[in-house]
Amino acid sequence: MVSSDVFQGPLGHLRAHQFSGLLPGPRLIVLGGVHGNEVCGPIAIRRLLGELERGERVVSRGLLTLVPVANPMAAARGTRQGERNLNRRLVPSAHPQDYEDHVANVLCPWLAAHDVLLDLHSFHTAGRPFAMIGPLDNAGPLEPFAHADAETRLAMHLGPTRLVEGWLESYARGVAQRRARDPSLGFETGPAYGVGTTEYMRSQGGYGITLECGQHQDPEAPEVAYRAIGQALALLGLTGDTLMPPAPGFRLLTLADVTDRLHPDDRFARDWSSFDPVASGDPIGTRHDGTVVRAPADGHVVFPNPRAEPGQEWFYFARPGYRAQIPTKSN
Ligand SMILES: [Zn+2]
């Protein structure tokens, strides 16, 4: 019997380039283009690919898999997504409903077959590069994890000195608030909807980092991505790249709360950039009914989106974080 999926499924393919060292070692997968309008990853990966193909670099240990474009439909359109955000609810699906479900069915087994993921992204508004890292080691229900030390060490070697933790927890709190406002909401209000590439990687026993390499059009962003791949290769010992020491000072932020935009007239108090510091009580925005939304404590505004759809994430609030491994600096 031939499933009708065969005829109704999307056209196209995912392409991976794989280099296997002749000595055993860690298995690293590098993704670009999970969001189709973010070109730094594809540019950096293709640059590295050229070097590997010309023999200018050699993978002598372990396994390196390069996926320059993880979402071909979105990349062909130059948009963030094809039919939905690939970096949400990233799980295999027995009954794929949309393009990204089909992509996930190929991509998830690839991720599960590796130990480490480096996922290269860029962002909309101006700002400095940063890395998103996972939780500390824990056996809790939301995101159990056992590789925090290795993941943190990788983050410290990738280049950018801003680290953000707490994504899935703050997302889960946010969707709980959303569901409390409207119990009729569907799957988009479950914590599983917050699972992207790195969360899926951790669920499969690996670890991974989302590296936000700069603004979408910033010519430095592909350089940030390229250097980060080289340092990941060096740290994991896959190539003979020289491992550089971590930068002397990091800033670690813990995502604490997410605030949804509720009405088209909800407005920010000013044009926030990600990581702008705020003091407790500072106005962040004003609701359409005049209610002022204030900073709940001293901290930072993160991922502000002045054009968020009502009911979607408007901004995150983050507090300074602490990990013994990370040499932090104050402002
Ligand atoms: Zn992205």
Å from CA of 19 to ligand 1 middle: 25
110-138 pLDDT, tens digit each? 999 999 999 999 998 888 999 999 999 99
141-158 pLDDT, tens digit each? 999 999 999 999 999 999
Å from CA of 178 to ligand 1 middle: 23
Å from CA of 209 to ligand 1 middle: 12
Residue 23: C-alpha distances to residues 48, 113, 233, 258, 320 (Å): 21, 17, 14, 45, 41
Return the pLDDT at 12.
84
Å from CA of 152 to ligand 1 middle: 20
Å from CA of 136 to ligand 1 middle: 23
Å from CA of 123 to ligand 1 middle: 6
DSSP 247: P
Å from CA of 213 to ligand 1 middle: 10
Å from CA of 110 to ligand 1 middle: 19
Return the pLDDT at 174.
85
Å from CA of 38 to ligand 1 middle: 6
Q: What is the 3-state secondary structure (H, E, C) of 199-226?
A: HHHHHCCCEEEEEEEEECCCCCHHHHHH
Å from CA of 122 to ligand 1 middle: 6
Q: What is the C-alpha to C-alpha distance for residues 225 and 144, in angstroms, rounded to an integer?
A: 28
Å from CA of 28 to ligand 1 middle: 19
Å from CA of 131 to ligand 1 middle: 12
Structural contact between residues 46 and 68, judged by C-beta atoms closer than 8 angstroms: yes
Å from CA of 11 to ligand 1 middle: 23
Å from CA of 258 to ligand 1 middle: 18
Instruction: Using the predicted structure, report yes or no on whether residue 231 has a pLDDT greater than 80.
Output: yes
Å from CA of 141 to ligand 1 middle: 26
Å from CA of 134 to ligand 1 middle: 16
Query: What is the pLDDT averaged over residues 9-37?
Result: 93
Å from CA of 81 to ligand 1 middle: 10
Q: What is the C-alpha to C-alpha distance for residues 10 and 82, in angstroms, rounded to an integer?
A: 11
Return the pLDDT at 183.
77
Å from CA of 279 to ligand 1 middle: 29
Å from CA of 67 to ligand 1 middle: 15
- When pLDDT is cut at 50, 70 and 90, the band that residue 4 belongs to is very low
Q: Is the pTM of this model over 0.85?
A: yes
112 phi/psi in degrees, rounded to 5: -65, -20
Å from CA of 118 to ligand 1 middle: 13
Q: What is the C-alpha to C-alpha distance for residues 41 and 67, in angstroms, rounded to an integer?
A: 9
Domains of the chain: 10-247 (3.40.630.10), 256-320 (2.40.50.100)
Å from CA of 119 to ligand 1 middle: 9
Å from CA of 34 to ligand 1 middle: 6
Residue 222: C-alpha distances to residues 33, 50, 245, 252, 312 (Å): 12, 15, 21, 23, 29
Å from CA of 211 to ligand 1 middle: 9
Return the pLDDT at 331.
47
Mean pLDDT computed over every residue of the chain:
92
73-101 pLDDT, tens digit each? 999 999 999 999 999 999 999 999 999 99
Could you tell me how many residues make up the chain?
331
Å from CA of 2 to ligand 1 middle: 36
**Encoded tokens for 9:** 């499924």
